[in-house]
Amino acid sequence: MKLRADVRVGRGDRTIAAHVVADPSRRVVIVGPNGAGKSTVLAALAGTVRLDEGRIELGDRLLADTDTDVHLGPHERNVGVVFQDGLLFPHMTVLDNVAFGPRSRGASRDRAGRRAREELERFDLHSLAEARPRALSGGEAQRVALARALAAGPDLLLLDEPFGALDVTSRVEVRRAVRLALDESSATAILVTHDPVEALAMGDRIVVMEKGRVSQSGSPDEIRARPRSAYVGDLVGLNVIHGRGQGDSVEIPGDTALTLAEPMDGPVIVTFHPHAVSLHATRPEGSMRNVWETSVRHVEHFGGRVRVELDSPPGAAVEVTGAAASELGLAGGRRVWASLKATEIGCFPA
């Protein structure tokens, strides 16, 4: 079912505001730093927090509307929720935990048991059906929590930092299990995280929240291509530099400037991909205007690529091939020349 939500919720001296649209059977990830308001939006969608202003629709059902004083409680929304710690019932077996989902929706004991076994099979948990939560690993417990939520047949599934308490290995395994389960489910899913890797790996659409507001939304490719804030630039791994535009030039820290392909005036944010910067042993020939001499601060190898951190001005992360790094003799303190095409630079009002 399609979700349309305009959320405004007061929190102390500020208001959390977000517009969230999710198409049927799609995954929307709300990402942002701690304190951005992500979990408040999720709580409003779940019905545990009332809107101060706004409206929430799920399919043809109105879940909340401040104009008409509509507010359906959590038990009336057919919404499943998975939290960071899973919140399994410690006195129940794994099978009974999962069966609780459909039982809470009115299913008979037999039907709930069948649904629970189906979900345990899907998550490869059937061998743990009679185990208690205390016997489970973190990854197993989180898969049980997700199985319980999906067994109830929710129209909307909300996941609040579902991988946050897991170790690296478990996080990868559970993330893969979640993706596969959601691909097979008809539920629309909203996932909240502060981890950019999770956001880009899990989301069909990404909603970025900063300081209680949505700063940008779009597909992962749209977010990568045109980051609208320093946080979003950091999120997708771009170089992000604040400066002041004057025509086709941007003054940046370090008493230097970059040339743009299109003019921009006033405070701006400049972005460029690490692979857009070329490194040279000597000053490159030609008419390229963004050329500067700098020093290598740090070199890190990953796979067949090498990430090079350059000193200011301007400080930047650069990606080159292993062969290029070897040919240039890249190491900490090495002097190099860097070049950057104006057409590779993104520039947006700050």
Q: Mean pLDDT across the stretch 16-42?
A: 93
Query: Quick one: pLDDT at residue 129?
Result: 96
94-139 tens-digit pLDDT = 999 999 989 988 889 999 999 999 999 988 899 999 999 999 998 8
pLDDT at 340 over 90: yes
Note the pLDDT of residue 350. Answer: 65
Q: Is residue 163 pLDDT above 90, yes or no?
A: no
Percent of the chain surpassing pLDDT 70:
98
Percent of the chain with pLDDT over 90: 58
Confidence of residue 212 (pLDDT cuts 50, 70, 90): very high
Contact 266, 348 (CB under 8 A): no
Query: Mean pLDDT throughout 147-167?
Result: 88
pLDDT score recorded for residue 85: 77
- Over the stretch 79-88, which tens digit does the pLDDT of each residue have? 999 987 778 9
Mean pLDDT of the 233-244 span: 82
Across 285-291, average pLDDT: 89
pLDDT for residue 171 is more than 80: no
pLDDT band at 32 (very low <50, low <70, confident <90, very high): very high
Does the domain made of 3-230 have the CATH classification 3.40.50.300?
A: yes
Is 238-349 in the same CATH topology as 3-230?
no
* Full-model pTM: 0.73
Please determine, for residue 206, whether its predicted confidence score (pLDDT) is greater than 80.
yes
Domain boundaries, given as residue ranges, for the chain: 3-230, 238-349
153 vs 227, which has greater pLDDT? 153
Q: Which pLDDT tens digit goes with each residue over 323-334?
A: 999 999 999 999
CATH of the domain spanning 238-349, picked from 3.30.420.40, 2.40.10.10, 2.40.50.100, 3.40.50.300 = 2.40.50.100
More confident of the two residues 203 and 133: 133
Q: What is the pLDDT of residues 243-278, one digit of tens each?
A: 999 999 999 988 889 999 988 889 888 888 898 999
